[in-house]
Copies of this chain bind each other. A is one copy, B any other.
Amino acid sequence: MNEIEVRRRATVHDVARAAGVSLATVDRVLNGRPGVRPATAQKVEAAVAELGFHRDLSASLLARARDLTLVFLIPGGSNEFMESLAEAVARRAVPARAERMHVEARRIPALDPQALADALDGLDARDWDCAVIVASEDEPVMAAVERAARRGIGVMTLVSDLPGSARRQFVGIDNVAAGRTAASLIGRFCPKGKIGVIAGSMHLRDHRERLEGFRAVLAKDFPGLMVLAPVEGHDETEETRERAAALIAGHPDLAGLYNLGAGNAGLVAALDASHRAGGIRVVAHELTAPTRAGLKSGAIDVVLDQNPDGEIRAAIAAARALALGGAGPADAEPIEIGIFLRDNLR
């Protein structure tokens, strides 16, 4: 069709020829099998680089009897967004199967670093090619990621990143930008007054980043607003309700509320109970049943959303890319931050 089409993709045979070794040796190097001298391995790697060889995933998955396996370790609890992530995994399982991928979601205790580490440690590298975690930034998690990577399991982070670890890729939104957007909306909505902030946990990097972006824009562009110290609702409905109720009751001049974590059913309940819903400008995260209800009733003004289906799709695509390239981080396109008002609910 054109010059690109004419030029055949390089195959393992080409690599063998270019490196001056046999097919078996190329295979040993590519699949990390033992019994190859470093000097020979280097010859092969040089040929791979020179030819721009990339393993043909279709053929590779066809030849292995087994599909590419990918497990999502998703926090449990009353966090509706995590629920929707798990549902998205289930939805994508069917089409993924057509692409020779087996994807599965497992729920683990939320905000429990040791439970996440244990779940990672429990993965057998013979069964799983890749694991996707919603990371909290804690030492046991870092160490478990390291161990999994060493066993040959590619670890990716979803929603909340773990930079500096052995994770191969992060899939999620720019949380600093999300916080900044929340601030710029709240700032336009509220001429003056106090702004309350509710987080899930400061151990979650995504929450810390949102707070950082939020504070930065408010401080710079809206000096008339005063940000209260953030309180933690641990992403649970009831705890978030209590924190929100306390904020509302304790500050009669509360102009805005930013819940950068989950537990939005509790937030809406507290707003409704206070009879000040509609008088306080509220920005929350993730389009779920409670935030939809809040938007419709007017209790919530804006919801910032990271499309769970899109994230799961991106994670699955990234896993394929990892399996294909073997090497460096595939450049994933960033997930968009969705902004939802009552009128553009999907």
Contact = CB atoms under 8 A, between A and B. Distances in A.
Interface of A: 1-2, 4-5, 9, 54, 56-59, 61-62, 67, 69, 95, 97-100, 102, 104, 127, 174, 177, 180-181, 183-185, 217, 307, 309-310, 321, 324, 333-334, 336-344, 346
A68 to B, nearest CB: 11
29 contacts: A1-B102, A5-B67, A9-B97, A54-B98, A56-B62, A57-B58, A57-B98, A57-B99, A58-B58, A58-B100, A95-B321, A98-B324, A177-B344, A177-B346, A180-B343, A183-B343, A184-B343, A185-B343, A217-B343, A310-B310, A310-B336, A334-B346, A336-B346, A337-B344, A337-B346, A338-B338, A338-B339, A339-B341, A339-B344
Nearest to A88: B333
Given A59-B62, A344-B177, A2 B324 contact: no
A217 B342 CA distance: 13
The residue in A69, A99, A184 that gathers the most chain B C-beta atoms within 10 A of its C-beta is A99
Contacts of A342: 184
Contacts of A99: 57-58
Contacts of A321: 95, 98
A127 B1 CA distance: 7
A148 B144 CA distance: 54
A69 B5 CA distance: 10
Contact of A2 (B104, B185, B344): B104
A52 B309 CA distance: 25
A61 to B, nearest CB: 6
The residue in A5, A102, A324 that gathers the most chain B C-beta atoms within 10 A of its C-beta is A5
A336 B305 CA distance: 11
B1 A69 contact: yes
A340 B343 CA distance: 15
Contact of A104 (B1, B56, B339): B1
Contacts of A174: 346
Contacts of A184: 341-344
A336 B217 CA distance: 26
A248 to B, nearest CB: 25
The 6 A-B pairs at the shortest CB distance, nearest first, are namely: A184-B343, A58-B58, A181-B344, A339-B339, A58-B62, A59-B62
Contacts of A309: 333
